[in-house]
Amino acid sequence: MSWPAEVVAGGKRLESFGVGPGPGEAPTIVLLHEGLGSAGLWRDFPQQLAEATGWGVFVYSRAGYGRSEAADLPRPLDYMTREAVEVLPEVLEAVGFRRGVLMGHSDGATIAAIYAGSVEDHRVRGLVLEAPHFFTEEMGLAEIARAKEAFATTDLKAKMAKHHDDAEATFRGWNDAWLAEGFRDWHAGEVIDYWRVPCLAIQGAQDQYGTLAQIREIEGRSYAPVEVLVPDDCRHAPHFDATEAVLAAVVEFLERLERIEAAEPDAA
C-alpha cells in the first residue's frame, strides 16, 4: 500500500508522509514530533531511519503544527493525554498500521508513552522515547519561559514561519500550555506502570528541557525491559546531536525485538 499524503484524525486534516516499505511489507516506525516540531522538522532523519533499519517510517504533524489543520486553542492541560488516546488511534488506523514501534521526541515521546500505557494495542511492540516528559522540572519551565521571551524579541517567529502555517498559534499553543497556572502539578508517570512492551529511552546529557530524572522515572516504574542511551555533548534533540549513536541504538533495539518475536511463534 502507498503512504497517505495526509490523514484525518481528531476531526483535523493532518500533514503526513512515509518513507521506506509500507505497513503491508515491513514493520513501521511511527514518529511523533516535539512540542515545536512538525513532520518536516525531522529533516532527513526519517530517511536515515528507514535506510538503517529496513522498516517503514511514518511521520505526521499534529493539529496546529506544520501544514496540518489549525488546533483548537488554548490547549487543555491534559493535551498530551488527549493526543494519545483520542487522536493517535485514528492516525494508526488511517495509515494501516499493522506492527511496529512508536518513536517520539519530547512531547511526542510523552504521547507515545501515554498511548502504550492507556490503549491496548498489540500491534505496538516497543517504544523509542527521546527526551520524554513525565513531570515538570524547574529548569525545563525556565527554558520554556526563555523561549517565550525569544519569540517576542528575536527572529524565532520568522524562523518558525518557514515550517508552520501559523507560527504564532503553534508557539502559543505549546508555550501557553506549559506555562499555564496548574501545569506545574502535571504528572504522567503512572502510565509507565501499564507498559507491557520494551522501551529504549534516550536523553542528551546536556538536555536543556529536562534532567535524567525523567529517565529514572521509566527505570523505576517499568515492568517491561528498559534500555537507556545518554549521549554526551548532546542537548534536547539526540537524533540531530548524536545521530549515529541514536541510529545504532535503534537498530540494535529493533533487532532484539525481532529476535524475541521469532522465538515466540504464537505472538499476536
Binning pLDDT at 50, 70 and 90, where does residue 2 land?
A: confident
Binning pLDDT at 50, 70 and 90, where does residue 164 land?
A: very high
Residue 267 predicted with pLDDT over 70? no
Match domain 6-262 to its CATH number in 3.40.50.1820, 1.10.510.10, 3.90.79.10, 3.40.50.720.
3.40.50.1820
Distance of alpha carbon 186 from alpha carbon 178, whole angstroms: 9
Residue 268 predicted with pLDDT over 70? no
Residue 155 predicted with pLDDT over 80? yes
pLDDT averaged over the chain? 96
The alpha carbons of the chain give a radius of gyration, in whole angstroms, of 17
Nearest Cα neighbor of 236 from 206, 260, 212, 194 is: 206
Binning pLDDT at 50, 70 and 90, where does residue 149 land?
A: very high
Binning pLDDT at 50, 70 and 90, where does residue 246 land?
A: very high
| Tens digits of residue pLDDT in 39-56 | 999 999 999 999 999 999
Contact at 8 Å (CB) between 14 and 68? yes
Contact at 8 Å (CB) between 217 and 192? yes
Range in 34-38, 136-140, 251-255, 258-262 with the lowest mean pLDDT: 258-262
Residue 26: burial class (beta carbons within 10 Å; 0-12, 13-18, 19+): middle
| Tens digits of residue pLDDT in 212-224 | 999 999 999 999 9
